[in-house]
Amino acid sequence: MTTVYVALGANLNAPLRRIRAAQQALLALAEPGSLRHSPLYSSKPMGPADQPDYINGVSVFDTQLAPHALLDALQAIEQREGRVRKDERWGPRALDLDLLLYGEQQLDDERLTVPHYGMKQREFVLYPLADLAPSLTLPCGTSLSSLLQQCPLNGMTPLPEQ
């Protein structure tokens, strides 16, 4: 069994509903009783500015799925929620699920990089991650708290409780 962290983001077609549906779908991948979610945030788009703000959060759970099987399952959830894989890089998304951390493992192959390649610079990942695991240290030895000190909120705001 491995503890994993998954980032959730959406900014198209009822994004809050899509995030909630994804959170529900993660139950099927998680060991019973292990799934937890950060608060959700509104954040500015990382890519082209001519798109709606994102809704972002992070979920953590224990799973028995191997890394690539988990990736496949996450991509299936994205597809069910309307994600089209030809989406432009950093463009608008119906749903984006990124595997941030898979236990202490470090993987880098043609399909999967864990820890996620951009997580150290992204406020919409780091702050929700800190809501779940404030004392987390990444597999490379970097503390989450040190990353937060170097990462401004960039206009990110918590969503009201839903």
For 82, list phi and psi in degrees, rounded to 5.
95, 10
Closest CA to 118 of 103, 85, 133, 96: 96
36 an active-site residue? no
**Catalytic-labelled residue, pool 83, 87, 109, 122:** 83
Cβ partners under 8 Å of residue 32, min gap 6:
none
Give me the catalytic one of 36, 53, 85, 93.
93
Contact 48, 91 (CB under 8 A): yes
| Active-site option among 98, 109, 111, 131 | 98
Catalytic residue check, 83:
yes
Active site residue 98: yes
Structure tokens at 85: 């894989």
Q: Which token pair is 37?
A: 């979610």
Radius of gyration of the chain (CA): 15
Residue 85 falls in the annotated catalytic set: no
- Catalytic residue of the set 18, 20, 72, 96: 96
| Sequence-ordered alpha helix ranges (H) in 10-66 | 15-25
Active site residues: 83, 93, 96, 98
